[in-house]
Amino acid sequence: MDQVIEWIRQPWPWYVAGPLIGLTVPALLLLGNKSFGISSSLRHICAACMPAKIPFFEYNWKKEMWNLVFVFGIFLGGVLATLWLSNPDSIVVAESTQEDLRVLGITDFSKLMPSELFHWGNLFTLKGLFFFVIGGFMVGFGTRYAGGCTSGHAIMGISNLQWPSLVATIFFMLGGFAMTHIFLPVIMGWIGI
Partner 1 sequence: MKVKEINKTKNQQSGLDSPVNCEAPNMQQVPETPVQLLKYLIVGVLFGIVFVKAEIISWFRIQEMFRLQSFFMYGVIGSAILVGIVSIQLIKRFNIKSMDGEPIKIADKEFRKGQVVGGFIFGLGWALTGACPGPIFAQIGSGFTVVGVTLLSAIFGTWVYGKFAHKLPN
Binding residues among 126-185 for partner 1 as defined by CB under 8 A:
128, 130-165, 167-181, 183-184
Residue 129 CB, shortest distance to partner 1, in Å, is 10
CA distance 21 to 24: 5
Alpha-helical runs (H) found in 33-109: 40-49, 65-84, 95-104
- Single residue of 77, 89, 126, 185 touching partner 1 by CB under 8 A: 77
Residue 184 CB, shortest distance to partner 1, in Å, is 7
- Rule CB under 8 A: say whether 42 interacts with partner 1: yes
Q: Contacts with partner 1 in 87-116 (CB under 8 A)? A: 87, 91, 93-94, 96-97, 100-101, 109, 112-114
Residue 2 CB, shortest distance to partner 1, in Å, is 18
- Rule CB under 8 A: say whether 193 interacts with partner 1: no
Q: Which is nearer to partner 1, 1 or 166 (CB)?
A: 166
Interface with partner 1: number of residues (CB under 8 A): 139
Q: How far is CA 161 from CA 29, 37, 175, in A?
A: 16, 15, 22
- Rule CB under 8 A: say whether 189 interacts with partner 1: no
- Rule CB under 8 A: say whether 3 interacts with partner 1: no
Are 20 and 81 in contact, with CB atoms under 8 Å apart?
A: no
- Rule CB under 8 A: say whether 190 interacts with partner 1: no
Residue 125 CB, shortest distance to partner 1, in Å, is 12
Dihedral sign of CA atoms 150, 151, 153, 155 in order: positive
- Rule CB under 8 A: say whether 26 interacts with partner 1: yes
CA distance 149 to 40: 9
